[in-house]
Every structure is written in C-alpha cells, then in structure tokens.
C-alpha cells in the first residue's frame, strides 16, 4: 500500500468568493483514490462550488487542487483528467446516444470508438437505445447516458453533481445501487454531491458534511451518525434528541450531567465539547436507541441506564416501528422510535412513561451552538 496517495484528490486551502459572498471558506480535503466520497449539505452550502472547482469550471479564489502529484489548479476543464455528471445531465440534444457517449473520445482524436461505446452502453444497460436522441429517453436512462459519457474517458475522478435529484424516489433508490455497482466495477474515485443524507449514507465510503461554506465533519457514514460533533451534523443526518444539561462531575471516563431532576451519564470519549464541572453541554441521543416503558413498570429498568420520565404526546404507527413524540421536563418533543416487536397496548397519547437508554449511546456537543442547526425547519426556512 505504498501507492495509495498517487491518485488522491487533494484540496488545500481552497476557497471561492463571489463579490462579497464567501461561497466556500478555505478548506482542506483529501479524497482517497478509488473511494466513493460524498459532499453532503443543504442547498447553498458550497458543495457544488467545491465540485466545480475540482472540475475546473470554477476558478478558486485561493488554494490549490491536486490530482495525485499533479497541480491542476491552473488547467482549464478540458485539460483535466476529470469528468462530470451534471444535475440536468446536459446531454447534447443534437447528437444521438452513441455520439453523446463518444464525444470525449472524439475530442481527443480517437477514431475507432465503436467498441468502447458498446462496452459503455452495456455497462449502463442501454444497448438498445444507441441511435436514439436524448429527449426520447426517460429521466433514468438519460442519467445513465450521462454517467456513460463521463466514464468512457476513464477519468481519474468522476464528479457527480446531484445526479439523482431529478428522479422520483423509486428510481432514485434503484440508481443509487446502480451507481454503487458501477463504481465498484470500474474502481474510479467518485465524488458525489447531494443534499439527501440517506443517499450519501447508502452510497459513500466517506462523507463530508458541509454547512455555510465549511466542512462541519468528515467521516464514514456510521461514524457521522453515531458520533456527530456538531448540532448541524446531529440534526441533518437523521434525527437527534438534544438535551441541554449541566456538567455535575467530569472526573471519570463518564461525565455525569444534570438535566432538570435527571442525572444522566455521558461517555467523555464521545463528547466533542470542552467539559468543566458546572459548564453546559448538549447531550444527544438518537430516537431508535431509546426504550420506552409504562410508568408502572419503571422498576423493571436495569440499573445504570439513563432514564427520563415523560408523557406521550403523539404516536404514529408506521409498520416496522412506532414513532412517539414525548413531552419531558428536559426537552419537549423527545422523539422515540420503537420497533413493533411486542407492542404494549397501553402506550397511547397521554400515558406517563419512562424513557431509558444505554449511556454509551449518548453523545455530547458544545452547548454554545444553535440547537436547531440542520433541522428540517431550519434548512427549508
């Protein structure tokens, strides 16, 4: 594994400013060769601008873009070994599918393109449509042509700018698997820009979560989900219950924090905030990690678990699970997802309940942040 840095994409101090608007703050990012990398964030967070700077379609205000050993910052897009799949696909309407796919090869003076185009059509399963015009294909088919048109050039990096954004949900799921299959098959580095956290998590090996022109956190999907380090990541990837608490004891491996009457335990290793005794901290817990019991059976809860009392405000049955919203003294609208294995018929709105979870599943965040950053209401506002 001595060669692993050869094809890496390395962004150093790269930033983009439009007039007085800082679209991307200086950021450093290394995308390992052969990985499926996702840039995830809400619209306007700078993810597409970052992608376009790698493609050469946007000149960075500061910083450099390196592909392996080569500094490509000053190269125009047509001289970079990088290809893009555009959100609108941008298929050439006056050329048929074959000529669309062969476009890159022809521009580089390659005459015999038939074999390669046929291979590509097979890879994206569009062999029967070679002579059709783009407008005669469905959205999903056009999307695959756009992928084939880029991949035929064997780029060092394939850039995908929200390539599934225009497809309906079912097709999007299908194309996610398809793209993942193609990436595994060809082994090229994919950089995928998306605002859909589920898409990023299912497809990518590594995800960089971007917000307001900055990378908030970088890691594998599981790492980001299990151990978010900012409220934005905690709320944008899935749902988190965040409790404002006061640190009561920060001496051990586990912090003891107080929220209202409840004393909760929080692993110090999973806390990204500075913790002094008496200081504030946000304790986070994912809704599916929480168990719910009727208040009458509070005695059955094992010792050593974090527990909070509350009253069910809403419950919605969605098949595999039931989602409860629970009013608690420490956090209103506490979300709890319970698998429908053994349903307790008494758990209806208005019922007094006790929530409990393994303290190891809690994570701690800096309390100085906006507690609602990255929630749906905030993003769409």
Binding stretches for other proteins (CB under 8 A) = 55-57, 76-79, 82-84, 86-88, 90-94, 96, 103-104, 107-108, 131-133, 136, 149-150, 153
Query: Smallest distance from the beta carbon of 91 to other proteins, in angstroms?
Result: 8
For other proteins, the closer CB: 104 or 310? 104
For other proteins, the closer CB: 161 or 178? 161
For other proteins, the closer CB: 86 or 337? 86
3-state SS of the chain is CCCCCCCCEEEEEEEEEECCEEEEEEEEEEECCCCEEEEECCCCCCHHHHHHHHHCCCCCCEEEEEECCEECCCCCHHHCCEEEECCCCCCCCCCCHHHHHHHHHHHCCCCCCHHHHHHHHHHCCCHHHCCCCHHHCCHHHHHHHHHHHHHCCCCCEEEEECCCCCCCHHHHHHHHHHHHHHHHHHCCEEEEEECCHHHHHHHCCEEEEEECCEEEEEECHHHHHHCCCCHHHHHHCCCCEEEEEEEEECCCCEEEEEECCEEEEEEHHHECCCCCCCCEEEEEECHHHCEEEEHHHHHHCCCCCEEEEEEEEEEEECCCEEEEEEECCCCCCEEEEEECCCCCCCCCCCCEEEEEECHHHCEEEECCCCCCCCCHHHHHC
Query: Smallest distance from the beta carbon of 32 to other proteins, in angstroms?
Result: 23
Query: Smallest distance from the beta carbon of 311 to other proteins, in angstroms?
Result: 53
For other proteins, the closer CB: 85 or 179? 85
Query: Smallest distance from the beta carbon of 133 to other proteins, in angstroms?
Result: 5
For other proteins, the closer CB: 98 or 227? 98
Query: Smallest distance from the beta carbon of 155 to other proteins, in angstroms?
Result: 9
Query: Smallest distance from the beta carbon of 7 to other proteins, in angstroms?
Result: 19
Query: Smallest distance from the beta carbon of 86 to other proteins, in angstroms?
Result: 5
For other proteins, the closer CB: 76 or 304? 76
For other proteins, the closer CB: 158 or 237? 158
């Amino acid at each position: 594994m001595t060669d692993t840095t050869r094809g890496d994409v390395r962004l150093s101090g790269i930033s983009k400013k439009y007039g007085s608007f800082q679209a991307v703050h200086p950021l450093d990012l290394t995308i390992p060769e052969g990985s499926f990398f996702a840039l995830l964030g809400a619209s306007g967070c700078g993810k597409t601008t970052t992608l376009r700077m790698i493609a050469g379609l946007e000149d960075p205000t500061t910083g450099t873009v390196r592909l392996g050993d080569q500094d490509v910052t000053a190269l125009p897009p047509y001289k970079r070994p990088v290809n893009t799949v555009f959100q609108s696909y941008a298929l050439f309407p006056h050329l048929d599918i074959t000529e669309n796919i062969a476009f890159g090869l022809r521009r580089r003076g390659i005459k015999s393109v038939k074999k390669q185009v046929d291979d590509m059509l097979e890879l994206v399963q569009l062999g029967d449509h070679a002579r059709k015009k783009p407008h005669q294909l469905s959205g999903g088919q056009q999307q695959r042509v756009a992928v084939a048109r880029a991949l035929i050039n064997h780029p060092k990096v394939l850039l995908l700018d929200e390539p599934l954004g225009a497809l309906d949900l079912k097709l999007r799921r299908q194309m996610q698997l398809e793209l993942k299959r193609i990436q595994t098959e060809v082994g090229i580095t994919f950089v995928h820009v998306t605002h859909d956290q589920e898409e990023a998590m299912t497809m990518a090996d590594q995800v960089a979560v971007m917000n307001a022109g900055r990378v908030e956190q970088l890691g594998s999907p599981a790492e980001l989900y299990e151990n978010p380090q900012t409220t934005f990541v905690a709320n944008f990837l899935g749902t988190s219950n965040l409790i404002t608490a006061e640190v009561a004891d920060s001496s051990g491996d586990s912090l003891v924090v107080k929220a209202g009457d409840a004393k909760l335990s929080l692993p110090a290793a999973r806390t990204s905030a500075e913790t002094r005794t008496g200081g504030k901290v946000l304790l986070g817990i994912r809704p599916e990690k929480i168990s719910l019991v009727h208040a009458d059976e509070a005695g059955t809860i094992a010792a050593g678990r974090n527990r909070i009392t509350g009253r069910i405000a809403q419950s919605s049955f969605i098949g595999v699970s039931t989602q409860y919203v629970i009013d608690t003294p420490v956090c209103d609208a506490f979300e709890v997802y319970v698998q429908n294995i053994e349903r307790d018929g008494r758990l209806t709105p208005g019922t007094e309940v006790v929530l409990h979870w393994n303290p190891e599943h809690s994570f701690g965040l800096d309390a100085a942040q906006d507690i609602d950053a990255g929630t749906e209401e905030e993003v769409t506002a």
